[in-house]
Amino acid sequence: MTVIFKAKTHCAYTIKILAELLQNNIKTACFEIDEDGVKLCMMDHHRTILIQVSLESENFTLYKFKCKDKLFLGINLNHFHKMLKSIKKKDSMQLFINDDSPNDLGIKVIPKENNRITTSFVTIQEIQTIDIDIPEGYGKPIIVPSSEYQKMCKDMAHIGSMINVVARNFHIKFRCNAGGVMKRHVEFGEMGDSDDEEEDDDNVVEYNQDFDTEQLSRITKMAGLSTSMQIYPKQGKPLLFKSAIGSLGKISIYIKSKDLIEKENSVLESDDDDDF
């Protein structure tokens, strides 16, 4: 029995949170594995959210890849997350594929006490890989505490089904309105910095877009990956959220506004392209 892929990390709990975040947005993921690490680039079923994940091989305590070509693993994220549910904060884990069972992804969970090692398997499915054009042209981010973003989404979910996002320079505001009966807004970042302003304030384009509350709430598990996130607002483009994945890698999530979705739905395209 020869191992064709093996990756070990002490950050099992981080992988568990990542799996839950992915499961909240995508049903089946196609992971790309090679000697450089594990990558993912996929849209949700409705093509309103794009998720990019990169886990670099150098960040694992052990990483082996013994294939000539890249591996593409179609994984049911619901099944994958179920196999990780019992993981505790100080556990280690090992992901592996053996050459005698190349259609099974092995998941070995090792507790800190090393008293009960659990090995589970998830079936690898065949899934079509699609090249996706990644949105570009973003400016500088607004730094937001991940836990505060999570708390804001949880609170606003009880107020209204839509959140208005307004951003300018290094300041961002999330506004929710329940038909005038209840209102709330939460602000992050710097209100203004008059020192060394590179641009005249009048020339700065304000970002102002509406999002479904549920859409923004589906990424709150980012709070378990890092203490802070970077939000990149750019008019005419999806709202970009970036975060570290513990010490393992990074994640980028692009969310389309209601305006972008409506514009795309109103355009009848003759061919089915894969641009995001």
Q: Which residues contact 267 (CB under 8 A, 6 or more apart)?
A: none
Which tokens go with 145? 């505490």
In 118-242, where does DSSP find H-type helix? 146-156, 213-217
State the pLDDT at residue 178.
Answer: 84
Positions in the chain short of pLDDT 70: 192-204, 268-276
- As a CATH number, domain 3-123 is 3.10.150.10
Q: Which of 20, 16, 63 is nearest to 38 (CA)?
A: 63
- As a CATH number, domain 142-193+202-237+257-264 is 3.70.10.10
State the pLDDT at residue 264.
Answer: 87
Q: How far is CA 112 from CA 88, 91, 94, 176, 247, in A?
A: 9, 5, 13, 44, 18
pTM: 0.91
In the chain, where does DSSP find H-type helix? 12-23, 77-84, 146-156, 213-217, 258-266
Q: What are phi and psi of 62, to 5 degrees?
A: -145, 135
Instruction: Give the helix, strand, coil percentages of the chain, each rounded to 5.
Output: 20, 40, 40
Report the C-alpha gap between 196 and 46 in whole angstroms: 43
Question: Which sequence spans correspond to the domains of the chain?
Answer: 3-123, 142-193+202-237+257-264
Q: Which residues contact 20 (CB under 8 A, 6 or more apart)?
A: 81, 221, 224
In tens, the pLDDT along 153-169 reads: 999 999 999 999 999 99
Q: Which residues contact 54 (CB under 8 A, 6 or more apart)?
A: 37, 38, 39, 249, 250, 251
Coil, helix or strand for 134? coil
